[in-house]
Amino acid sequence: MRHEPRVLVVEDEPAIAELLAINLRHNGFRVTWAMDSEAAQRELDAVLPEVILLDWMLPGESGLMLAKRWRAQARTKAIPIIMLTARGDEVDRVAGLDAGADDYISKPFSVKEMLARVRAVLRRRTPEQAEGSITIGALLLDAATYRVSYNEQMLKLGPTEFKLLHYLMTHAERVHTRSKLLDRVWGDHVFIEERTVDVHVKRLRESLGPQAGLMIETVRGAGYRLTAQVDLRSAASGTALAELDES
């Protein structure tokens, strides 16, 4: 029997929810609809979906607050979240990504775009399978067991951050442009903007911590590089923070 990925649609406008549900079902997805935060939480408590389409503006608790809460909970932390938003400004899109969303769709949107984004987050949910482990300095990534540690201390990474780190560690000491990282980590995902990489690098650095996070360097005007040649004295200076103000 063919596997039908579960999608939870959290949307208070019935016409939009119906449009999403019909097209998702037609393309092999199982769809559950919730029109507010309370209904969405009940659905999550009953069964975990593989993707959440989450409207930014909801009655009661906003989609932004829901994303933050679900990202903070162990049970729902790894579920890909795509924000549905009428807010097209860059600052709002970055706010959604910072809240924990993996992607966003601006209204009005095309059905093809929506399906492409859903398939893309599903493709990158599971990192490329590889046997064995990779060690760079005190940083250890075991692709087979999906574990990352630094100085023998286990670290918690989301699925996108794990895959990003896996790629950077297997191609260490090289400078990677944002467009190259999109191609190699996100795959054939033509809709995502390069600035999305900055948000996930920032999130990865925060997950790695103040020392390991320094191993991911921002090469101004070029991109990012993972290196074992780190001056740990710079940890206190906050250089591990992503330089989101770069062009």
| Domain boundaries along the sequence of the chain | 6-123, 133-237
> What's the confidence (pLDDT) of residue 1?
44
The amino acid at 107: K
10/104: higher pLDDT: 10
Q: Which fold has domain 6-123?
A: Rossmann fold (3.40.50)
- Domain 133-237: which CATH number of 2.20.25.10, 3.30.565.10, 1.10.10.10, 1.10.3720.10: 1.10.10.10
pLDDT in tens, 132-155: 689 998 999 998 788 899 999 999
> What's the confidence (pLDDT) of residue 4?
80
Q: Which of 101, 106, 17, 24 is nearest to 65 (CA)?
A: 101
88/207: higher pLDDT: 207
Where does the chain show beta strands of DSSP type E? 6-10, 30-34, 51-55, 81-85, 103-106, 133-136, 139-142, 147-150, 153-155, 216-219, 223-226
Q: Residue 177: is it exposed, middle or buried by C-beta count within 10 angstroms (0-12/13-18/19+)?
A: middle
Q: Which residues pair with 133 in a beta bridge?
A: 142
